[in-house]
Structures are given as C-alpha cells and as structure tokens.
Amino acid sequence: MATPHEPKQDRSRATRLRLLESTIDTLAETGWAAATVAVVAERAGVSRGAAQHHFPTREDLITAALEYMFDIRMEHSKAEAAAFRSASAHTAAQDPARTEAVVAQLVESYTTALFKAALQVWTHAAADPALRERIVPLEARFGRVSHRLAVEALGVDDADPVAHHLVQATLDMARGLGLADVLTDDSARRKQIVHQWAATLHMALHAPR
Amino acid sequence: MATPHEPKQDRSRATRLRLLESTIDTLAETGWAAATVAVVAERAGVSRGAAQHHFPTREDLITAALEYMFDIRMEHSKAEAAAFRSASAHTAAQDPARTEAVVAQLVESYTTALFKAALQVWTHAAADPALRERIVPLEARFGRVSHRLAVEALGVDDADPVAHHLVQATLDMARGLGLADVLTDDSARRKQIVHQWAATLHMALHAPR
C-alpha cells in the first residue's frame, strides 16, 4: 500500500545512492584525499546541505560507501556465478574452456572502478586503525563468498585441499593482477597470464592424482 | 685520496639516507598523508632546515624515496638470487623443495615495509598523473629484473612460453598476497597457498609435455 510518505522516501533513497556512486567514482578517479562530502556532493549534483543530512561526516560517507561497494561486489559475483551455472549447464567441469572463462571473469572483476576505489580505502586503512576495524570483517566475508562462488563456477570440490588452495591462489593472483593494472593498462599481458594459469589450474584440478 | 671536504660530504650523505629510510618507515606505518618533509625529518632526528636543504619540496622527497626503494628492492632481489645460486649449486632445478623455497622467498618480499611503503605511493599515484609518470618506468624496470631473477632462481628456460607466463603469474600471485597482508596478518593462510602454488608450478614447469 502506498503512503503519502513514499515519494519523499524514494527521493531520499535515490539521493543517498547517487552520493554513494559518486563516492566510488571519486575514489577510483581522484583518490582518497579528494573523497570529501563536499566534492562527492558536487559531483553527484546534490546540495552540500542534503549530502550532510545523509552523511554528517566524511567517516560516515566512506563507511556507507564501503558497505555499498561490498553489496555491489557481492551482487556482481553472484550474478556472474549464476550466468556460469546456466551457461555451463551442458559443459562439464572437465572442459578447459570453462575453467578459462571462470578465471578470466574472476580476474576482470579486479580491474574495475570498484576495485580501484576499494584499493584507495584499503591503502588508507593500512595507516588508520579505526577504518581498518570497520573494513576487516567486510573483507573477510567478501573473501569467503568469493571463494565459494569460484568453487561453484569451477565445479570443483572444496573439501579437496588441492582444489581449496588453488582456488585461493587464483583469487590472490587476480588481486595481484588488479594491482598491476592500477598505474598502466596491463590488459595485454594479463590476457596471456590468464590463459596460461587457466591451463595449469585446469590440469592440476582435473588430472588424475 | 681523502680531501678536507669528505667528512662533510659523508655526513651529508648519511643525513640524506636517514631521511630516505625515515620516509619509507613513515609511508609504511602512517601512510601517504603523513609523509611530509617535516614529519619525516622529525622521525629521522634531522632539523627541518637540513631536511629542506636536501629535499626542498615533498615531491623531491617522495621521488628520491621511490628511487631509493627501487634500489633497495633490486639489491634485495639480487642478493636473494645469489644466495639461491650458491645454495642450489648441488640442487637440481628438478627438486620441488628448491621451487618452494624460491616461491616462498619471492612472496615474502611482497610483505615487507618496502612493499607497504610502495603501495602507499602507487595508490596515491593512481590519481596523480605527474607522480605516476615518474613511477611507471621504475616499476617496468623492476618488473623485468624481478622476472629475470625469478627465472634464474627457478632454473627454467624463459624462452619457453609456459615457463615465461607461469613465472609472471607467480609474481602476480605474490603481489596479490602482499596486498592481502596489508590489513591483517595473513601469514598462516599465505604459507598454505605458497606450498600448493609451488607444487603446482613445479609440476607444470618440469612435467614432460
């Protein structure tokens, strides 16, 4: 049932989302120092007063943006995993092309504006214990979900320690490739690494042992 | 031959080095924003005037620290590679223990204060084109040397595309593990990843194909 308050609430929610999107773009493109409530509000086309109503302090804004980034990353990961399940309904886990597609998609998810924005926050948090305390539980949860989704997409058994650690290693390699892409366009080299690692991973996961 | 100017030059050089070491520690422990000439000088026990004589601007200090970090990283890498050459004089490249020792040492080199300091500079440079322009050639050169040293330590043939790309992937994985260690102590998980990665890498490098 609609109530007279809904349209205002919708507008308020839309403003909040615009501010959070603007925070991510600002972090990714202009870095930590620029990501203040004033700069983010201007970029979002929101008045400073309205922005401060939603986020009284910069800390509030960054914390909310982190949670929002976490939610989007989880949604992306889940959507990708679902796409793989439907695309690979007729493809056996033993198909090397499936492994390469999964690795490629995983790696690409570490080259997005979201990763670049998160890197700004992580790096700042390295020297800011209060911020670090807020991030660490989110990252731990994200790590567990990413791992579980990668295991499902690859169609392997996580109870097998070889599979478990190689999926972890693949996520670590993806993170390293994400970092390598921050200062220069590393896509040509990355493509070759993904191709070779997918072949090696596939062998290790599916070779008889 | 000693000249009357040498002691003063030595003192000047020692002061410069103390400032550069202090810059690295400041970046690694308190982050980018804190790494100003004043803070670094105080930490180094150098007067602000003397610090500004060496580094008139913050930009000068950060640029010099970057070059110094690059030099130390190269020296560490070369020393490690030399240690491997002498330790493995009687160990064939086909020994899996050698591969694991090389991977472990590579990975540990990404968990040092040097890596954490460099991460602060890279992340800031992502949104600072002038700084990025100064870093990119240094990083490209460091990447090439690290790759060559890893190839030598592993005792593989870089002309083989499988070996070439797997060594690259190993460096990317090491970088990703370094980033994973920035917010929490990741050493227990890292040890298991290194163990499995080394086993898989060894098989892929040395299995008949």
pLDDT at position B4 is: 58
The pair of three-digit structure tokens given for residue A178, joined into one six-digit string: 């994400």
- Interface confidence, given as ipTM, is 0.91
3-state secondary structure of A132: helix
pLDDT of B5 higher than 80: no
- B39 touches B62 (CB < 8 A): no
pLDDT of B194 higher than 70: yes
pLDDT at position A5 is: 62
Task: Answer with the residue of higher pLDDT: B92 or B185.
Answer: B185
d(CA B19, CA B13): 10
Number of H helices, E strands in chain A: 9, 0
Pick from A114-128, B43-57, B88-102: least confident: B88-102
Question: DSSP assignment of B156-204, as one string?
Answer: --TTSHHHHHHHHHHHHHHHHHHHHTTTS--HHHHHHHHHHHHHHHHHH
- B44 touches B18 (CB < 8 A): yes
Work out the burial of residue A44: count CB atoms within 10 Å of its CB; fewer than 13 is exposed, 13-18 middle, 19 or more buried.
buried
d(CA B145, CA B134): 18
Residues 6+ apart with CB under 8 A from A200: B166, B169, B200, B201, B204
List the 82-101 stretch of B: residues with Cβ below 8 A of A: none
d(CA B172, CA B153): 17
The pair of three-digit structure tokens given for residue B6, joined into one six-digit string: 């040498």
| Any B CB within 8 A of A187 CB | no
CB contact under 8 A, B183 and A124: no
Q: Please tell me the distance in Å from A69's CA to the nearest CA on chain B.
A: 17
Point out the residues of chain A with pLDDT beneath 70. Answer: 1-6, 88-91, 209
pLDDT at position B88 is: 66
d(CA A85, CA A88): 5
Give contacts of A132 with chain B, Cβ < 8 Å. 183
Q: What value does the mean pLDDT take over residues B85-108?
A: 84
- Give the ranges where A109-157 is alpha helix by DSSP (H): 113-125, 129-154
Q: What is the DSSP letter of A111?
A: S
pLDDT at position A16 is: 96
d(CA A27, CA A68): 13
| Any A CB within 8 A of B122 CB | yes
The pair of three-digit structure tokens given for residue B28, joined into one six-digit string: 């690694």
d(CA B73, CA B70): 5
- A1 touches A89 (CB < 8 A): no
Closest CA to A46 of A67, A30, A72, A22: A22
| Any A CB within 8 A of B206 CB | no
pLDDT at position A94 is: 81
Q: What value does the mean pLDDT take over residues B80-91?
A: 73
The pair of three-digit structure tokens given for residue A22, joined into one six-digit string: 């603007």
pLDDT band at B83 (very low <50, low <70, confident <90, very high): confident
pLDDT tens figures, B134-164: 889 988 988 999 999 999 999 999 999 999 9
| Nearest neighbour of A126 by CB, restricted to B116, B127, B175 | B116
CB contact under 8 A, A127 and B176: no
